[in-house]
Structure 1
Amino acid sequence: MSPKFLHTLSVLLLLAGISSCKKTVEPPAQPNSKIIEYKVPVADGEISGVIDEGDKTITVYVPFYYQLDVIDPKIKLADGASLKEKIVPVDVLDEKTIYTVTGADKSTSTYRLIIKLQQLGPLVIEEISTATTTTKWGIGFYNVRLRGNFNTNDATKVKAFLVGSDNKEYALVNSPNGAPGIQTTMGATDKIYALFYLQVPQTIEPGIYKLKVKIQSLTAVAKYPIEVFYDTPQINYVGAEARAGESFNVITTGPVFYNFKEFSITVNGQKVSLPIESYTRTKATIRIPDNVPAGVYNPTATFEGWAPIFQYWTLTVKAK
């Protein structure tokens, strides 16, 4: 054999020996602390959440037409894995939900839930005031109506607020006339929604406020402000009954009491004042003097700054 051939043969044998000594390197085992399915049942099927193993997030896209306030997910884990948290309904505006998974291999993973509401925007509300005229609402005014492109007939989803100069929000509340509702009409190009039976809260202070409306993830703020003020007080139309020398209460679920000065009845053609023992914005305690004869009377309430208000309900006084 030639020296060249022997050299080539020895090199090949050496390489074969080295190759035979190599070990097969397996890829590192992947942890099985995984969520492999996240589904939300809806009226016509299921919404599948998008699971991103890179940043450990689960993103759920919720179309507005399902009108969901919460999602009630179904979660599937990898074989042998367990979930630390209970599976409970999640508010669609929630931003804090996480899921902690422990795998059969004792590894752990934490997923963050992201809910994206696919609403029709922007939200637009009809102005209550104008550039030249500021609308006034009395404290306790209970016939507030708002109009806009709400895209829902569910009044509970529309939240309205008065926002003060300190950015504190005061929610408009349900009117004593009934639960809020929504009426729809067709405008020139779009449907218009009118929300009715809202009330200015009886606890708010007089001042200038911005009107803000929220529908889930959408928010609109009116351009022009609203003035809140003490309007003519009202007393609920309810009868009262008490004995001479006793006290009784009157209340308002509408415009509040302010500067309550006098409560009187007419006895034999003469005005008789009934002492106001105490009052708040919404309740007053009145005492009937000992010498008031038994009878049925229509009282009159006087608040400073307003004309006396004759009451069409009756006060029945019984003998002491």
Structure 2
Amino acid sequence: MNTKIITLKTLLFFTAFAFFGLLTSCDNEEERWTDVKEDPVTEIITDLDARRIISFKVTNPGEAQAIYSAVNNLEKTITVYLPSYYEYQYLETAIALPEKTTISPAATELIPVFSKTPVTYTTKAADGTTAVYTVKIVIQQPKIILNELSTATSTYTVQAGGSITVKGENFVPSYEVTKMFIVDAQGNKKLQMKQYNDGLDIASFYITYSFGAIDTGLQTDTDYWILIESYNLSATMKLPFRIR
């Protein structure tokens, strides 16, 4: 009888201990997962500069195909990425500005692609403050590659009054912007070759020019080089040729 009482007491003791441990564990868990309120986030809103340029685009290809340019209102630059195959000499533009802001020169004025001096725009806000933006035109044109007419052991010769066909890669297919010159060892242009046909058949990998006249002013038995200028780039053959 005493044994049963002791066993029952022991069972009650361990049951109470386990229950106490469970309560303690729950309390600890609640403390570990207590939500902490984050610090408040303050959003700072600043006024936009009224002198800024909202957008700048080249409209020569047409409004639907307009070339949008990169406007940096911090550095005050406008970068125009112009594909070489358009062959533009001047650009037509459309410029978006904040209300009551003006720009000079006007957006209707043409921009020269190959200007010798930087092209700039001046914006003026309603309060009279101004900003000056510089236009940077980046022509996307692959490097011109020329196939040599001569070899290391054989110098190419051509008769005055004849024609020369130059092969290579990445010529802009227009006689208006792709030209060939004869240059001397110092790189001085001695003669500009004439287009061989009406200019409609030029391809991007070959071009044919003729001397146009027998009297070229070039000397026989003298080394000359071929120089190709194609829109924004130029390339000169490494090996010379000769007139006979």
Shift of 1:135: 2.6
1:31–1:107 CA contact under 8 A, matched in 2:
no
- Give distance in 2, aligned partners of 1:80 and 1:55: 22
- Give distance in 2, aligned partners of 1:204 and 1:28: 69
- Give distance in 1, aligned partners of 2:80 and 2:238: 33
Q: Where in structure 2 are the equivalents of 1:1-320 lying within 5 Å?
A: 31-41=49-59, 42-43=61-62, 44-86=64-106, 87-94=108-115, 96-119=118-141, 121-137=142-158, 141-150=161-170, 152-170=172-190, 172-175=192-195, 178-184=197-203, 193-199=205-211, 204-206=217-219, 207-228=222-243
- Give distance in 1, aligned partners of 2:211 and 2:110: 31
Shift of 1:129: 1.8
Shift of 1:100: 1.9
Shift of 1:152: 4.1
Structure with a larger share of its residues in strand: 1
- Give distance in 1, aligned partners of 2:241 and 2:109: 41
- Give distance in 2, aligned partners of 1:198 and 1:85: 43
- Give distance in 1, aligned partners of 2:92 and 2:111: 6
- Give distance in 2, aligned partners of 1:195 and 1:218: 16
- Name the amino acid aligned to 2:136: I
Shift of 1:85: 2.0
- Give distance in 1, aligned partners of 2:159 and 2:133: 49
Shift of 1:124: 1.0
- Give distance in 2, aligned partners of 1:199 and 1:84: 47
Residue 155 of structure 1 aligns to a residue whose secondary structure is: coil
Q: Under a length normalisation based on structure 1, what TM-score does the superposition of the two structures give?
A: 0.51
**Greater RCO structure (CA 8 Å; 6+ sep):** 2
- Give distance in 2, aligned partners of 1:181 and 1:173: 17
1:36-68 Cα deviation digits (max 9, x unpaired): 221112255211110012221111112345454
1:39–1:73 CA contact under 8 A, matched in 2:
yes
Residue 82 of structure 2 aligns to a residue whose secondary structure is: strand
1:179–1:197 CA contact under 8 A, matched in 2:
no
CA gap of 1:107–1:48, structure 2 versus 1, over 3 A, is same
- Name the amino acid aligned to 2:92: D
Q: Under a length normalisation based on structure 2, what TM-score does the superposition of the two structures give?
A: 0.64
RMSD: 3.2
| Count of aligned positions | 194
- Give distance in 1, aligned partners of 2:188 and 2:171: 27
What are structure 1's unaligned runs of at least 5 residues? Answer: 1-25, 185-191, 232-320
| Amino-acid identity (%) | 22
What are structure 2's unaligned runs of at least 5 residues? Answer: 1-43
Structure with a larger share of its residues in helix: 2
CA gap of 1:161–1:27, structure 2 versus 1, over 3 A, is same
- Give distance in 2, aligned partners of 1:142 and 1:109: 57
